[in-house]
Structure 1
Amino acid sequence: MKWTRAVHHLTDLVEKVSEMPGTHFRFEVVELWVFGDLLGAPRDLEHIDVALVVDLPVDEVPWLTEPLGAEHWANASRVSRNPVMPFWRSAQAPVWNHRIERPALAWSKADGIAEETLVAVGDGTGELVRLPAPEPDELRKRLDDELALSLAALRHDNQVYTDRRWSPGKLTPYADALWRTTTGYLDLLDALAR
């Protein structure tokens, strides 16, 4: 997609999130961060990366998983119909990690739309509004914390899948949850090995 279209998708999402009532969902999105290629120089992109920070405990939002109700939220916000790659994060932990590198806050429930970020992204000067990079020890600690959380979630989702394996009803939601948790755990292991 063209750069201007990508910026339009981000702006549209920020506006939708700022207008969405939190009472219709099991959680509330309290911050929206942009990261990745959209913070660089203007060029064609395949998708835009956003981190959606929710008011849930960290153990309900392990790395690369979706909180319960995320699909409904994505449909209501049109994330599911646009070239947007959402990464769900808990408000009780830092938004950044090895993949969400130096994000820029685009919206928060507390302060509203971060116009400076949207202008910088549109101008191709997103570098000016990004968070500073963490120190290597700080990043390592963050990854260790996320890995421990991810392992606990993997054990839990594996047990839920095992318990439901031969029960009546669809297994797909449990298999999908286990797949997401496994993918997150392996991604963190690979990041720590580098």
Structure 2
Amino acid sequence: MKWTRAVHHLTELAEKCGDLPTSFFRFQVIELWVFGDLLDVPRDVDVIEVALVTDLPVDEVPWRSEPVGAEHWANSTRLSRNPFEARWRSKDAPVWNHRIERPALVWSAADGINEETLVAVSDGTGELVRIPAPSPEELRKRIEDELAVSLRALRRENQAYTDQRWNPGKLTPYSDALWRTTTGYLDLLDEVG
């Protein structure tokens, strides 16, 4: 997609984050961050990478998983209909990790839209609004912390799948949650290995 179209989609998402009613969802998105190609020089991009920080505790948002209600939130904001790749995060941990490198804050519930970030992204000067890179030690610790959260989630989702396996009803929500959690765990495990 064209750079200007990608910036348009990002701006629309930021506006929708601020427009949603606070009591409508099981959780609240309190920050929207952009990372990846959209923080580089203007060119066509395949996808807009964003991190959505929720008010949920860390154990409810393991790496590469989706909190309960995320699909409903994504449909309400048109996130699911546009070329976004979203990563869900918890307010109780840093937004960055080994894949979310030096993101830039686009919107927060506290301060609204960060116009400086949107202008920098639009101009191709996203480097100016990115957070500093963590030290190698900080990054290693971050990955270890996420790996521990992921392992707990993997055990929990495996048990939920096992418990539901032979019960009536759809198994897809349980298998999808197990698949996402497994993918996140393996990604982190590869990073420390």
Aligned to 1:67: 67
Point out where structure 1 has 5 or more consecutive residues left out of the alignment: none
Is the Cα–Cα contact under 8 Å of residues 22 and 29 in structure 1 kept in the other structure? no
Aligned to 2:78: 78
Cα deviation digits, residues 134-158 of structure 1 (max 9, x gap): 0000000000000000000000100
What secondary structure does 2:143 align onto?
Answer: helix
Aligned to 2:158: 158
Counting only pairs closer than 5 Å after superposition, residues 45-194 of structure 1 correspond to structure 2 as: 45-193=45-193
TM-score, with length taken from structure 1: 0.99
Is the Cα–Cα contact under 8 Å of residues 13 and 79 in structure 1 kept in the other structure? yes
Counting only pairs closer than 5 Å after superposition, residues 5-16 of structure 1 correspond to structure 2 as: 5-16=5-16
Cα deviation digits, residues 62-106 of structure 1 (max 9, x gap): 000000000000000000000011100000110000000000000
Is the Cα–Cα contact under 8 Å of residues 39 and 124 in structure 1 kept in the other structure? yes
How far did residue 21 of structure 1 move?
1.3
Q: Which amino acid aligns with 1:188?
A: L
TM-score, with length taken from structure 2: 0.99
Q: Quick one: distance in 2 between partners of 1:52 and 1:83?
A: 15
CA RMSD of aligned residues (A): 0.5
Point out where structure 2 has 5 or more consecutive residues left out of the alignment: none
What secondary structure does 2:152 align onto?
Answer: helix
Q: Which amino acid aligns with 1:6?
A: A
Q: Quick one: distance in 2 between partners of 1:122 and 1:140?
A: 32
Q: Which amino acid aligns with 2:166?
A: W
Q: Quick one: distance in 2 between partners of 1:147 and 1:22?
A: 31
Q: Which amino acid aligns with 1:34?
A: V
Q: Which amino acid aligns with 1:104?
A: A
> How many percent identity over aligned positions?
74
Q: Quick one: distance in 1 between partners of 2:3 and 2:191?
A: 29
Q: Which amino acid aligns with 1:98?
A: H
How far did residue 111 of structure 1 move?
0.9
How far did residue 20 of structure 1 move?
1.0
Q: Quick one: distance in 2 between partners of 1:174 and 1:137?
A: 35
What secondary structure does 1:66 align onto?
Answer: coil
